[in-house]
Amino acid sequence: METLLLDSNTWLLVLTGAGVSAESGVPTFRGMNGLWEDQPVEQVASPEGFAKDPLRVWRFYSQRRAGAAGVSPNPGHDALVSWERHLGDRFLLATQNVDGLHSRAGSQRVVEMHGNLFKTRCSNDECQRAPFEDTTVYAAGTVPGCKDCGSLLRPHIVWFGEYLDPADLERIQNFSLRAASSGGRFVFLAAGTSGAVYPAAGMVDQVRGAGGETWLVNLDPAENSRRFEHSVQGKSGEVLPKLGRLV
Ligand code: APR
């Protein structure tokens, strides 16, 4: 197997997806065939779905909270923590996962592009209340309300059809600009993601455009596989701990 040299010249941007949490027991979107209770997940992970049936949406996310609370980070998460400790500010982890496992493993420079399952916010954009930590598994039939304005609360998740937080995109962009202009080696590694959901799936092209080196670690061929220069097929919990050569 190829190895990825991580030395004092290297800047590393990592993108993770659901596959990285699969070995922890969190089902992937593709693994569920994009379905929940035989219905497309979009029905419970979209603003339209929330407007139509907030009870159902909270039942879905309460189930996911209960499931994700009982799992632990795996050796793939741990490998990324050791890479970050080695590279310091020359490392950034962008994740599409909302399960919080990277932070629980010890990653610190993390951008949660799609939000966090254990945060809640007010559904009223005018409300001043900030998103807050919330591990509550709400009983079926319950939709929590905002104590400030009385509107419904919603999971702090980027749903289908919603925009990513511009501050998150800016953080990734700034890191990439610094990496590309550092005079060092800019490396992008995507792991456990099907490359189907944008803008994350387009990061490989941006890095290549900036002269960066691109790596993919995935169990199945991703939709954007051919756009990576280096590709390792396998489970991230097995591949990542062996891939990085810390110098
Ligand atoms: N190691 C590495 N890769 C794996 C593993 C594993 N142990 N298990 C599965 N995979 C791969 C699969 O082959 C698949 O290509 O992980 C990928 C998971 O793909 P998706 O389920 O589509 O997950 P992801 O790419 O994170 O989805 C993107 O879509 O559902 C929305 O917003 C949600 O963040 C999510 C986004």
Q: What CATH number does the domain containing 62 carry? A: 3.30.1600.10
Domain boundary among 93, 127, 157: 157
pLDDT tens digits, 21-35: 999 999 998 888 889
**Confidence label for 116 from pLDDT (cuts 50, 70 and 90):** very high
50 and 147 housed in the same domain? yes
pLDDT tens digits, 210-232: 999 999 999 999 899 999 999 99
ipTM of the complex: 0.98
In 10 A of CB 181, how many CB atoms?
10
Q: Which of 77, 102, 114, 156 is catalytic?
A: 114
77 and 65 housed in the same domain? no
Average pLDDT, the chain: 96
123 and 210 housed in the same domain? no
- Residues contacting ligand 1 via CB (< 6 Å): 17-19, 22-23, 28-30, 96, 114, 192-194, 196-197, 218-220, 222, 235-237
pLDDT of residue 82: 98
Average pLDDT estimate for 41-56: 96
pTM as predicted: 0.96
pLDDT tens digits, 52-71: 999 999 999 999 999 999 99
102 and 217 housed in the same domain? yes
Domain count, the chain: 2
